[in-house]
Amino acid sequence: MREQFDLYDLNGTRDLKGVCLISAGQYANLETLVVVPVFHGPPDEPRLPIHTEIDFAGHQYTAKFELLASIPAASLGEKIGHIREQKYELKNALDRLIAGY
């Protein structure tokens, strides 16, 4: 069962840790899902307001909302955890992507 803010492997894609599911659980059975890519390492400085620092399994990562994307659900790899504890930071970054500041 997929849930919002689950973290999925993307089968070794690029320099990504994986992707975080942004679509709400009610839409998790659609064949396309909206995800934000999560990169290794902390955000670059100065940090764009749409970059969220992620703490996961003792490491730092960065969710970059300018790269928010719709991808086929079938392309998601294994679920590697979730980052629901940081849902407010993630929602705030999404708001900022829309509102500007």
Partner 1 sequence: MAGLTGGRAAKLVGTAQSHWSGIETGNKRPSPGLAERIEAATNGEVTAAELLGLNATVSAQGMGETSRTFEYETQAVTVAVPGYLSRAASDLGVNIEDELSRGGLPTLKQAVTDAFLERYKDAIEGTNEYVRKHGTLSQQFGMI
Instruction: Identify residues 40-99 at the interface with partner 1 (CB under 8 A).
Output: 44, 46-48, 64, 66-67, 69-72, 75, 99
Q: Which amino acid is at 10?
A: L
Instruction: Give whole-number Cα distances, 32 to 7, 23, 29, 74, 76, in Å.
Output: 16, 9, 8, 8, 10
Instruction: Say whether the peptide bond before residue 49 is cis (omega within 30 degrees of 0).
Output: no
Distance CA 35, CA 48 (A): 19
Minimum gap (Å) between residue 58 Cβ and partner 1: 26
Q: Which is nearer to partner 1, 20 or 83 (CB)?
A: 20
Q: Which is nearer to partner 1, 70 or 85 (CB)?
A: 70
The footprint of partner 1 (CB under 8 A) covers: 13-14, 19, 32, 35, 37, 44, 46-48, 64, 66-67, 69-72, 75, 99-101
